[in-house]
């Protein structure tokens, strides 16, 4: 997921490295860094804004390591959902407990169904639905679709997924 973070550095040499090393150690991918060297926070530290991609599970670890290194963490803003995908379902979608189907995605913690359009031509005929799924990253979107695929097998639903190029 993408995280934007405001940190505070002491005005002594090597501080920036102490802030950036933990990100690379935890396989984070730095997207931007803005270093306001001429500014001072009320605590007379130098404010730095970072934007990086990191595995959600590693974010807490990272904050811990920054604090161990004496770096102040003033603000953390998770841009939670960076991956968006659409999936179609065909079958007896409502009668096989649509709420339960949606819950299997929502309960992952890394993906959510954010929109659903349903088309039910006639009673007893198969209905069709399009689901929009948001996820914290591409891998998580893949994982969410694969979770949905498993549920669909049990409920005899056909899942129509995007082509690979769309979600990688």
Partner 1 sequence: MRKVRASIIGFGSVGQGVAEVLLRKDEELKSLGIDLDVVAIADSKGAEVNVAGIDLKAALGRKREFGTVAIDDLTGEDVIKSVDHDIVIETTPTDIETGGIGLVNMVAAFEFGRHVVTSNKGPLALKYRELVEAAKEADRKLLFEATVGGAMPIINLVRDTLAGNEIISVEGILNGTCNYILTRMMEEHASYEQMLAESQELGIAETDPTYDVEGIDTACKLVILANSIFDQDATYQDVDVTGITKVTLESLSLAHDEGYVIKLIGEVKKDRLRVSPRLVPVSHPLAVGGTLNVASVCTDLAGTITVTGRGAGSIETASAILSDIISIYKD
- Minimum Å distance from CB 1 to partner 1? 24
CA 158 vs. chain centroid, Å, equals 26
- In the complex with partner 1, which residue's Cβ is closer, 33 or 102? 102
Burial of 24 (0-12, 13-18, 19+ CB in 10 A): exposed
Residues that bind partner 1 (CB under 8 A): 86-88, 90-91, 117, 119, 121, 126-130, 132, 158, 160-166
- In the complex with partner 1, which residue's Cβ is closer, 11 or 166? 166
- Minimum Å distance from CB 89 to partner 1? 8
48, β-bridge pairs = 7, 35
CB atoms within 10 A of CB 43: 10
- Minimum Å distance from CB 90 to partner 1? 5
CB 111 within 8 A of CB 135: yes
CA distance 64 to 70: 10
- In the complex with partner 1, which residue's Cβ is closer, 51 or 102? 102
- In the complex with partner 1, which residue's Cβ is closer, 30 or 120? 120
- Minimum Å distance from CB 160 to partner 1? 5
- In the complex with partner 1, which residue's Cβ is closer, 17 or 163? 163
CB 142 within 8 A of CB 110: no
Q: How far is CA 85 from CA 31, 81, 89, in A?
A: 23, 11, 13
- Minimum Å distance from CB 28 to partner 1? 26
């Amino acid at each position: 997921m993408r995280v934007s973070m405001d940190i505070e550095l002491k005005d002594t040499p090597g501080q920036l490295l102490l802030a950036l090393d933990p990100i690379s150690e935890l396989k984070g991918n730095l997207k931007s860094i803005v270093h306001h060297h001429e500014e001072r926070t009320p605590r007379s530290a130098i404010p730095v804004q970072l934007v990086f991609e990191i595995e959600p599970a590693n974010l807490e670890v990272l904050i811990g390591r920054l604090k161990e290194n004496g770096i102040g963490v003033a603000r953390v803003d998770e841009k939670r959902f960076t991956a968006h995908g659409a999936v179609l379902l065909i079958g007896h979608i409502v009668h096989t407990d649509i709420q339960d189907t949606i819950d299997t995605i929502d309960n992952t913690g890394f993906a959510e169904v954010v929109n659903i359009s349903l088309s039910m031509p006639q009673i007893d005929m198969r209905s069709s639905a399009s689901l929009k799924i948001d996820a914290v990253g591409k891998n998580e979107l893949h994982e969410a679709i694969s979770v949905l695929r498993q549920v669909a097998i049990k409920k005899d639903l056909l899942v129509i997924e995007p082509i690979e190029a769309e979600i990688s």
